[in-house]
Amino acid sequence: MKPNGDFEIFLVTAPGLEPVLCEEAKANGFRAPKAVPGGVRIEGRWHDVWRANLVMRGASRVLARLDTFRIDELAELEKRARRVPWDGVLRRGVPIRVEATCAKSRIYHSGAAAERIATAIHDATGAPLADDAPITVRARIEADRCALSVDTSGELLHKRGFKEAVGKAPMRETLAALFLRQCGYDGREPVLDPMCGSGTFVIEAAEIAARLAPGRARPFAFEHLATFDAEAWLALKEKFAARAVTPAFRCHGSDRDAGTIAMSRANAGRAGVADFTEFREQSISALQAPEGPPGLVIVNPPYGGRIGDKARLRTLYRTLGQILLERFPGWRVGLVTSEAALAKATGLPFAPPAAPVPHGGLRVTLFQTAALA
């Protein structure tokens, strides 16, 4: 990393979604985005780090790459870690912690690797070590190559800062945003989730339509770094806040559970999108297309890993498919499930799906249709 120049910034995402996140990085004007295993590499400076945390919906973390080098023993690792200009990045007196992962390398003990790096940082900056430190330095040692980074996000980025209430098996906002992007959603059409849970798909869609920055309501780890400029950060947030618009269409959610609907409404209110969303307590059998032009139905129904009653689930999926085919002409459908057989039970004309991605200890797949006849 050059003190005042460009450096590598790494946007982390779930395996299998790297190309989708790369599309988002391009759409947001980041320079030289490249999809690689585990995420997307971009180039930039510290204001680009702040902007990525503020505007990237699909990234789970934003890492500032400090150095990369080949390494095969712990003593050399500590020596190389001492060469990193920590004083230019870390504030003296701000606690840190170091996390390391090792794979296919001569250095195989992650705890020992983290300890050596922590010693080098402490000697350079005097930074105390703490398990609950606001700053995490991450070392990834793979195939005898070490990448040293500082985690500029802090808490994972799906924590937008407003959702206090979640339902069973909630979908992370970052994953929901990437699935919406895969479905071609850009905020210029209505969206409906007929099994909305805590409202994740609906709220993400409404925020996209309103051009609200996903990181507008939360703190970030980079605010504790020596490179942070509070005045410039405030100006950046104000710049993106000024881009907000009133969406042309509402985003709709429904669920048969009254408590879930109350939860969704509360979450939408805290997110500032209550005026652009509508939530109804109703069963699938009562589902009707909203008035106006067709749009996107996106749904994450229960599946085996969550409920387990296969016969009941097949009936649920079959009913959902029949209603969508009968009542939603012109609408596209995106359906997330862990089991292809359940998707098939809908009878919907799904295109061949992309590879499954990890979610809640399972691997789930997004199935998509073109506009229904």
Which of 319-333 are b and which e, b meaning 16 or more Cβ less than 10 Å from the residue's Cβ?
bbbebbbeebeebbb
Q: Which residues are within 8 A (CB) of 153 and not within 5 positions of it... i.e. 6 or more apart? A: 53, 61, 62, 220, 221, 222
What are the respective helix, strand and coil percentages of the chain, to the nearest 5?
Answer: 35, 25, 40
Residue 66 φ/ψ, nearest 5 degrees: -95, -35
Contact 138, 151 (CB under 8 A): yes
Among 48, 42, 16, smallest CA distance to 366 is for 16
Give the Cα separation of 349 and 321 in Å (integer): 10
What string of pLDDT tens digits covers the 373 residues of the chain?
A: 655 689 999 999 999 999 999 999 999 999 999 999 999 999 999 999 999 999 999 999 999 999 999 999 999 999 999 999 999 999 999 999 999 999 999 999 999 999 999 999 999 999 999 999 999 999 999 999 999 999 999 999 999 988 776 666 679 999 999 999 999 999 999 999 999 999 999 999 999 999 999 999 999 999 999 999 999 999 999 999 999 999 999 999 999 999 999 999 999 999 999 999 999 999 999 999 999 999 999 999 998 755 558 889 999 999 999 999 999 999 999 999 999 999 999 999 999 999 999 998 899 999 999 999 9
In one-letter notation, the amino acid at residue 321 is G
Reported for 83-89, long-range contacts at CB under 8 A and 24+ positions apart, including other chains, are 84/1, 84/120, 84/124, 84/148, 85/1, 85/3, 86/120, 86/121, 86/124, 86/125, 86/127, 87/124, 87/125, 87/226, 88/3, 88/226, 88/227, 89/1, 89/64, 89/150, 89/225, 89/226, 89/227
pLDDT for res 167: 62
Contact 222, 228 (CB under 8 A): yes
Q: List residues bridging with 9 in a β-sheet.
A: 42, 64
Among 237, 280, 226, smallest CA distance to 257 is for 280
Q: Give the residue ranges of DSSP H helices in the chain.
A: 18-27, 46-55, 74-82, 110-125, 173-182, 200-210, 230-241, 258-271, 310-327, 340-345
pLDDT for res 196: 96
pLDDT for res 4: 60
